[in-house]
Amino acid sequence: MSKKIGRGNSQTQATRRWAWLFLGPVVAAFTIGFVWPFIQGIYLSFCKFRITSDATFVGISNYQAALADPSFQHSFWYTAATAVVSLVLINVFAFAVAYALTQGIRGSNLYRTVFFMPNLIGGIVLGYIWSMIFDGILSHYDTSILLETKYGFWGLIILMCWQQIGYMMIIYIAGLQAVPEDMIEAAEIDGATKWQTLFRVIIPNVMPSITICTFLSLTNGFKLFDQNLALTGGLPYLIQPDGSTINTTEMLALNIYNTFYNSSTAARGTAQAKAVIFFVLVAGLGLAQLAYTRKREVQQ
């Protein structure tokens, strides 16, 4: 790009002269809306503050507090487990549904729409609806989703699957439809069974879709907040020997939120430090995962 602009003919010079006029608004919006708050956020993670204007620098003590917080450690592992289990289930089911719906069965368009629809409902609403459904069922067994960690865990997994499978399915359908019919027929003639065709020919050729979907579901899993808040709000909690509590179904985002707003204002710096750790974690995982699956993509 820069090479082309550097050629110095009158048109590219004019482009250069006017470039900032057009780039300006976007750059300004991006700076004000993202870059500045991001930098401010990182700065605040090294501060003790109640409101942003009275922040005092305290070094890495917020990070020490954050990492030492048992509820943060618990929510990290809980989030990791949720993200991994949902990643696997969502992608396996989404692919299976997409595969079934691309086999020319009757009414596939209707099914596609139906499967996609949960994605149109907001997370909070979805969380409350499912909490009612789960409690409706669990009340027959004299229990509630708020009483057992495992109910909360699998409840959240079911909710995430229900919400995201349709979305991932659309991406997988697009990927599957791009696999040339001839290639599948060639495999059939070459002697591949349905399963061999699926695993040795189709799946390697839908790796771009798998990359996108696993990336999305992994980061979605780690960032999950509203559904977590609405479904269990982190309950049930566990009282620690020192009297502090751990919300057993609390994911990272909710843990940060609760640290920031529910505890004393003194912990806001800690919440900020947790948020930065959270960002590094999600970005790192996402990029690593992207790099890993990208390698397996093929070009036609």
Q: Which residues bind other proteins (CB under 8 A)?
A: 180, 182-183, 185-193, 196, 200-201, 204-205, 207, 298-300
Distances (CA, A) of 223 to 8, 48, 49, 156, 298: 47, 25, 25, 13, 30
Shortest Å distance, C-beta 214 to other proteins:
18
* Residue closer to other proteins, measured from CB, 94 or 202: 202
Give least dist CB 193 to other proteins, A. 8
CB of 91 to other proteins, least distance (A): 19
Q: How far is the CB of 291 from other proteins (least distance, A)?
A: 18
Q: Which is nearer to other proteins, 5 or 183 (CB)?
A: 183
Whole-angstrom distance, CA of residue 214 vs CA of residue 171: 11
Quick one: which of 224, 295, 286 has its CA closest to 79?
224
Q: Which is nearer to other proteins, 96 or 190 (CB)?
A: 190
* For other proteins, the closer CB: 64 or 177: 177
Cis geometry, peptide bond prior to residue 241 (ω within 30 degrees of 0): no
Bridge partners for 245 per DSSP: 239
The Cα-based distances of 246 to 73, 74, 223, 230, 235 in angstroms read: 10, 8, 19, 18, 9
Closer by beta carbon to other proteins, 62 or else 205? 205
CB-CB contact of 268 with 258 (8 Å): no
CB of 299 to other proteins, least distance (A): 5
Distance of CA 87 to the CA centre of its chain: 9
